[in-house]
Structure 1
């Protein structure tokens, strides 16, 4: 997984949210995925 909107990455490749909200798993092309966090409206 790759970091998307409002997602940080740690030294040990840990993904973490930068804001509170809803987590979405999204595709980037055929073989990549990213994780984004969107703030609740």
Structure 2
């Protein structure tokens, strides 16, 4: 009989899914109503004239 124990499990090897944050439309670009300009966590960029701010600070 072979005397070899079963391999143990590792506790590492997990990473969260990327959130795809950042600027989506840059200066001078023409955008349509409802376009996402920036995805952010917290209000790093504040909305200007004729721009709204979503629930997730988009």
Structure whose residues are more often strand by fraction: 1
Larger RCO, structure (CA 8 Å, separation 6 or more): 1
Q: Same fold (TM over 0.5)?
A: no
Give me the TM-score of the superposition, normalised by structure 2.
0.24
CA radius of gyration, larger in? 2
